[in-house]
Structure 1
Amino acid sequence: MSAVVAAPPASTEDVALDVKKAPKVPLAAKLVVGAVAGVVGTTCIFPIDMVKTRLQSGNAQYTGPISAASSILKNEGVAGFYRGLGPNLVGVTPEKAIKLAANDLIREALESPDGSLPLHKEMIAGAGAGLCQVVATNPMEIVKIRMQMQALLPPAERQSTMEVVRGLGLRGMYQGTTATLSRDIPFSLIFFPLYANLKKAFADPKTKENSIASLLGAGGLAGAMGSWAATPADVIKTRLQLAGGKEKYKDMQTCFRMVVKEEGVSALFKGSVPRMCVVAPLFGIALLSFEMQKNYMIKSGMLD
Structure 2
Amino acid sequence: MSPLELQHGVAGSVATLLHDAVMNPAEVVKQRLQMFNSPYTSVVACVRTVQRTEGFGAFYRSYTTQLTMNVPFQAIHFITYEFMQEQLNPHRDYHPQSHIVSGAVAGAVAAAATTPLDVCKTLLNTQENLALSSVNVSGHLSGMLNAFKTVYQLGGLPGYFRGVQARVIYQMPSTAIAWSVYELFKYLLTKHKVERRASL
Residues 1:149 and 2:156 aligned together: no
Residues 1:118 and 2:95 aligned together: yes
Question: 2: CA distance between counterparts of 1:184 and 1:137?
Answer: 12
**Closer, same or farther: CA 27–151 of 1 in aligned 2, 3 Å:** same
**Closer, same or farther: CA 116–91 of 1 in aligned 2, 3 Å:** same
Greater relative contact order structure (CA < 8 Å, 6+ sep): 1
From 190, 193, 200, the counterpart of 1:207: 193
Aligned residues: 183
Structure 2 gap ranges (5+)? 195-200
| Counterpart residue identity of residue 196, structure 1 | E
More helix as a share of residues:
2
1:159 is aligned to 141
SS of corresponding position for 1:175: coil
Residues 1:179 and 2:179 aligned together: no
Question: 2: CA distance between counterparts of 1:200 and 1:66?
Answer: 42
Q: How does 1:22-101 map to 2 (within 5 A)?
A: 25-101=3-79
Question: 2: CA distance between counterparts of 1:26 and 1:85?
Answer: 29
Q: Is 159-168 or 47-56 further displaced after alignment?
A: 159-168
Give 1:185 deviation, angstroms: 1.2
**Closer, same or farther: CA 146–28 of 1 in aligned 2, 3 Å:** same
1:168 is aligned to 151
Give yes or no for contact 1:34–1:98 (8 Å, CA) kept in 2: no
SS of corresponding position for 1:207: helix
SS of corresponding position for 2:40: coil
| Counterpart residue identity of residue 71, structure 2 | T
| Counterpart residue identity of residue 121, structure 2 | K
Give 1:128 deviation, angstroms: 0.8
Structure 1 gap ranges (5+)? 1-23, 209-304
Question: 2: CA distance between counterparts of 1:58 and 1:123?
Answer: 35
CA deviation profile, 1:221-264 (whole Å, cap 9, x unmatched): xxxxxxxxxxxxxxxxxxxxxxxxxxxxxxxxxxxxxxxxxxxx
Give 1:198 deviation, angstroms: 3.6
Give 1:136 deviation, angstroms: 3.2
**Closer, same or farther: CA 183–175 of 1 in aligned 2, 3 Å:** same
Give 1:111 deviation, angstroms: 2.2
Give yes or no for contact 2:94–2:183 (8 Å, CA) kept in 1: no
* Aligned Cα root-mean-square deviation (Å): 2.7
Give yes or no for contact 1:30–1:97 (8 Å, CA) kept in 2: yes
Question: 1: CA distance between counterparts of 2:50 and 2:186?
Answer: 37
